[in-house]
Amino acid sequence: MSRDENKLLIDVKDLRVSFDTYAGEVQAVRGVSFYVNKGEALAIVGESGCGKSVTAQSTMQLIPMPPGRIKEGSVMFNGKDLTKFTDKQMESVRGSEISMIFQDPMTSLNPTMKVGKQIMEGLIKHQKMSKQDAKQKAIEMLDVVGIPNPEKRVEQYPHEFSGGMRQRAMIAIALACNPKLLIADEPTTALDVTIQAQILDLMKDLQKDFDTAIILITHDLGVVADMAQRIVVMYAGVVIESGTLDEIFYDGQHPYTWGLLKSVPRLDTQGKQKLYPIEGTPPDLFSPPKGCPFAARCEYAMPICREEMPEKTHLSKDHFVKCWLQHEMAPDVENPIKKGRE
Amino acid sequence: MSEKKLEGRKNIIEVNNLKKHFKVGKGQILKAVDGVTFSIREGETLGLVGESGCGKSTTGRAMIRLYEATEGEVIFDGMNIQRLNRKELKNFTKQAQMIFQDPYASLNPRMTVGDIIGEGMDIHGLRKGKERMAKIYELLEIVGLNREHASRFPHEFSGGQRQRIGIARALSVEPKFIVCDEPISALDVSIQAQVVNLLEELQEEMGLTYLFIAHDLSMVKHISDRIAVMYLGAVMELTTSKVLYDEPLHPYTQALLSAIPIPDPEVERSRNRIILEGDVPSPINPPEGCKFQKRCKYVKDICREKAPELREVKPEHFVACHIVK
């Protein structure tokens, strides 16, 4: 799905987020723009510290402020700028319009509160339901997310649930008020693969049934291939490439995207493949480099890369990349992911 | 890379019916490892995979006597490691080393990197003074760090670099066998490949034998010669990594492989996934009979009565299942 003003749900423009620490200012997010259409699943991929979680949390104003602060940018949701919202106004959005599920279901559920009550909380607050109705709805939600014996389970505490069931309960809480956007921050990273398969299946079904848009934050490209329609690749606080699923996997243009795709072994290939690691480590965000942040690790880096950040090059409606290799004076480089497929 | 020839190599370590049970109070017993048998040949990498709580780390730890086994034996180089005297045990710990999962928790924050790497040599009285420092510098360079790093402390390093320090420490006593307990799970994808390539290079140069424990099956397939799949304290299937992925026979292996998302949208769109119902049962009072019966769709009466033995159904292909012929 490409950008369509009628279907646009959330539009993030030039978002900049910093954290003030004793050691100085950490520029975690340095000018990020992306959008999500209604009912669409967008994946934000990148390594730890690339700013993907901070980006998602800032859209809901969930970063602790201070030390964090949104320096610049706008988050347009249904035509309103969320960065201008007061705490009170945000409260009416969180849980009802935008919900979030987190990586670790144990630390994000309240251990002293019954699971049922945690689902009812949002329903009573946002939809002004009575206690009885809310409880009925909580039982229904537990059933929707595939928890057996929901009547019994609403009365239980999170520690009585297994890891996979806690994640299901989190999804039930997040979807109870039928939000338009679900932000899933590494929703399956803490789970085993067989449980991950269950949760991903559930999320896909719910996306269809409730027509919820999803922002999926992950580093697992397998999960992305399974879930997302579009991808945003982040590195050191900036978006370096974005496009549809196929455009990134089969026609990705940024050397970092290539590196991500080539450094993971695949289950379905014959014989031994060589892994191509990305040498070095991501830059320090206290003083980000002035040129392209990936230049220091990039095997194709040219002098210009260390001097100036490349502009966007649009390759299709959805696909853009920020890389000097796209410049007409740059040398031709064979695309290693395309080559591998032929 | 060509596949290694493994036939005719002698076993460096043999595990026979190994059991490790923990008392968890109220008379209950957690059967973390419940009768595991396999062997590893010299220069080989055996992958040990399974979901959390299946006993793979406990097996690895019991194999180098970080845990005392409840039952069964581990034979290293012809010696039963449970029956070693002090001197023999010291010699054994020199030959069998471990690389841990968490590169933050496994390095002493108050020691310099040089001392962390040198500690093993001090304990075994291998090298002193200049010779010791020279070895530390050499090891740092082997693992891709440089000699200036010896005087620094662990907190100054990134996760990938710390894992390299952990590898240098394991190598310092010139071991033959290394247990790698999820050495890359805590690392970022781009860094994982660096560490895996390093482990492979070291194996080739030094003829090391690895037990590679992980839950990431794609990485295990990449690094291992043979793979053992564990479930609830028992080995379900054991064969070469190629055969395991091409023709998995055990219903659990099939489900596990099918659950792994493949980073290729076209493949993902056309895949039929086997989704297992429910969770892994608790290893406290596990079911009688086959451990996998509660989630297996082919379950028969015999599965509930008798635990299947691990038997060789084809050359080099072992399966513990009543259904597989």
**Contact across the interface for B259 and A197, Cβ inside 8 Å:** yes
**Contact across the interface for B265 and A268, Cβ inside 8 Å:** no
**Can you tell me the mean pLDDT for A40-51?**
89
Residue, of B191 and A315, whose pLDDT is higher: A315
The C-alpha of B187 sits at a distance from chain A's nearest C-alpha, in angstroms, of 9
Q: What is the pLDDT of residues A112-146, one digit of tens each?
A: 999 999 999 989 988 888 999 999 999 988 988 88
pLDDT value of residue A197: 86
Instruction: Say if residue A66's pLDDT is above 60.
Output: yes
pTM of the model: 0.83
Domains and CATH numbers, chain B: 3-319 (3.40.50.300)
Q: Which residues of A touch B51 (CB under 8 A)?
A: 192-195
Q: What is the pLDDT of residues B92-137, one digit of tens each?
A: 999 999 999 888 889 999 999 999 999 999 999 988 889 999 999 9
**Contact across the interface for B51 and A198, Cβ inside 8 Å:** no
**Contact across the interface for A197 and B262, Cβ inside 8 Å:** no
Closest residue to B190, CB basis, from A195, A265, A277: A277
Cα angle for residues A325, A331, A337 (degrees, 5° grid): 60
Q: Which residues of B touch A260 (CB under 8 A)?
A: 189-190
Residue A321: which pLDDT band, with cuts at 50, 70 and 90? very high
Q: In this prediction, what percent of chain A has a pLDDT beyond 70? A: 96
The C-alpha of B261 sits at a distance from chain A's nearest C-alpha, in angstroms, of 4
pLDDT value of residue A271: 59
Mean pLDDT by 10 residues, chain B (325 residues): 64 93 88 92 93 89 92 92 90 92 88 94 91 93 89 89 92 94 83 88 92 88 93 93 92 90 86 81 84 89 90 92 88
For chain A, the average pLDDT equals 87
pLDDT value of residue B1: 41
**Contact across the interface for B264 and A268, Cβ inside 8 Å:** yes
